[in-house]
């Protein structure tokens, strides 16, 4: 795909931005949770790892080398796994108290899925190898 690397870089910035918007709302605690602020829960700050993976992916999307494209698939897979884990954690029901999912958790999940797809579609110009017979003639 011609623009897969640019789209992937934009998606990584979207993941970073989505860490700061609401992911879920817990009615019993009257708390809105984001990736960087988890109120009175013991969820920690899952947005920090998303930001780290997305920054690394952003840099790797911009480097036009084969090793960076291969590394980006690995980083994108970890980012997607972390997004799926966070989606399950922030959308679960506990003791009959269900969290209300907000837009941020969907943005992180969808952007992470699209990031891994874009990392698997790099546009790399590989020079053609010369045939062995051409090397012998010269």
Q: What pTM did the predictor assign?
A: 0.84
Distance (Å, whole) CA 58 – CA 118? 12
Distance (Å, whole) CA 53 – CA 47? 10
Closest CA to 115 of 76, 86, 85: 76
- pLDDT, residue 43, reads 80
Q: Mean pLDDT lowest for which of 3-7, 12-16, 80-84, 105-109?
A: 3-7
Give me the residue spans of the domains in the chain.
4-121
Burial class of 71 by CB neighbour count within 10 A (0 to 12, 13 to 18, 19+): middle
Burial class of 14 by CB neighbour count within 10 A (0 to 12, 13 to 18, 19+): middle
Tell me which of 86 and 95 has the higher pLDDT. Answer: 86
- pLDDT, residue 111, reads 97
Task: Give 42-91 pLDDT, tens digit per residue.
Answer: 888 889 999 999 999 999 999 988 899 999 999 999 999 999 999 998 88
- pLDDT, residue 103, reads 94
Residue 39 DSSP label: T
Q: Is the pLDDT of residue 106 over 90?
A: yes
Q: Is the pLDDT of residue 137 over 70?
A: no
Q: Where does the pLDDT of residue 95 fall: very low under 50, low under 70, confident under 90, or very high at 90 and above?
A: confident
């Amino acid at each position: 795909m011609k623009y897969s690397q640019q789209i992937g870089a934009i998606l990584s910035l979207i993941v970073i931005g989505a860490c700061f918007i609401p992911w879920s709302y817990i009615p019993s605690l009257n708390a809105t949770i984001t990736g960087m602020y988890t109120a009175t829960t013991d969820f920690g700050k899952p947005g920090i790892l998303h930001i780290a993976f997305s920054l690394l992916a952003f840099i790797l999307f911009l480097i036009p080398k084969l090793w960076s494209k291969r590394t980006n698939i690995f980083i994108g897979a970890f980012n997607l796994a972390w997004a799926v884990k966070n989606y399950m954690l922030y959308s679960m029901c506990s003791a009959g108290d269900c969290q209300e999912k907000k837009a941020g958790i969907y943005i992180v999940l969808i952007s992470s899925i699209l990031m891994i797809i874009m990392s698997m579609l790099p546009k790399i110009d590989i020079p053609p190898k010369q045939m062995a017979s051409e090397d012998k003639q010269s």
